[in-house]
């Protein structure tokens, strides 16, 4: 097939795979339906729990559940307000604390949430947990997982087109390998990584709003990432090669967003925070 046809297929594929993000109003690339994504996520979640030590019956594990339920309620209130009452209909919420010193937490598509014990000292209490929880839940609510899967498939389709183009131009095998390698590096640094950084920034905003609506002080967002910065001192890659914004960029953004989150929470009658 002529390389231009590959590119045309990719363009048509992208054009008809855009959906509107209900939280931002932006068009996003997403052709992985929840009916496909959620069962995959739930299976992986069950497998993960079976292979790791889940902490139960402690104040910390109870806190994770309590905060998770509040963030879930905040999300539903937000969705109700924008006319998306059934958005969470297929979510199967669950909140687990896992014994692991890794500084991490995540929320799978469909509402499966895990906190590692290693992040709790940085959270320094329930409000910090809520900031992290809001951020991770925001990734799921904004369909970032489906968007990344969709973008990866488009990237792979583009690689096929480049390979065919190299063959059509009569390039040697060595040259074709260089072309393919250049495409992989170029698309990764120029496309996929900034795409991921955009997701992180978007999740910071949505997550801070969720935390505030749930009754948690959004000003804790910047303070938490200051602690994260100290914990990661000397370990972070340059921002342009990272899937996350730099710590300084993130802290500055969270500081500017705190007042917006407070104003958003006031729309729901929330005017005091813990």
- What are the phi and psi torsion angles at 124 (to 5°)? 55, 40
The set of residues, in sequence order, having a beta carbon less than 8 Å from that of 225 and lying 6+ positions away, is 247, 250, 251, 254
Answer for the pair 112, 153: CB distance below 8 angstroms, yes or no.
no
- Give CA–CA dist 134/141, Å, rounded: 10
Residues annotated as catalytic (active site), given as ranges: 136
The owner of tokens 């920034």 is 201
- Give CA–CA dist 187/161, Å, rounded: 13
Interaxial angle between packed helices 144-168 and 173-187, expressed in degrees from 0 to 180 and rounded to the nearest 10? 160
């Amino acid at each position: 097939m002529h390389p231009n046809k590959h590119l045309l297929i990719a363009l048509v594929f992208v054009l008809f795979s855009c959906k509107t993000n209900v939280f931002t109003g932006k068009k996003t690339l997403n052709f992985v339906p929840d009916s496909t994504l959620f069962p995959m996520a739930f299976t992986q979640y069950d497998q993960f729990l079976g292979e790791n030590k889940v902490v139960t019956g402690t104040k910390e594990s109870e806190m994770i559940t309590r905060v998770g339920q509040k963030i879930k309620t905040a999300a539903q209130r937000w969705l109700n307000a924008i006319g998306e009452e059934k958005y969470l209909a297929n979510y199967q919420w669950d909140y687990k604390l896992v014994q692991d010193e890794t500084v991490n937490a995540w929320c799978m598509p469909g509402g499966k949430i895990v906190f590692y014990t290693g992040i709790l000292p940085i959270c320094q209490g329930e409000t910090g947990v809520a900031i992290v929880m809001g951020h991770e839940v925001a990734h799921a609510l904004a369909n970032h997982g489906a968007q990344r899967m969709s973008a990866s498939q488009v990237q792979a389709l583009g690689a096929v087109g480049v390979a065919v183009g190299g063959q059509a131009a009569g390039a040697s095998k060595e040259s074709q390998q260089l072309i393919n390698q250049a495409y992989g590096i170029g698309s990764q640094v120029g496309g996929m990584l900034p795409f991921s950084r955009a997701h992180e920034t978007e999740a910071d905003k949505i997550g801070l709003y969720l935390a505030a609506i749930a009754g948690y002080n959004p000003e804790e967002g910047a303070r938490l990432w200051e602690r994260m910065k100290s914990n990661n001192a000397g370990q972070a890659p340059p921002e342009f090669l990272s899937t996350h914004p730099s710590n300084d960029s993130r802290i500055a953004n969270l500081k500017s967003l705190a007042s917006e989150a407070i104003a958003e929470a006031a729309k729901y009658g929330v005017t005091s925070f813990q």
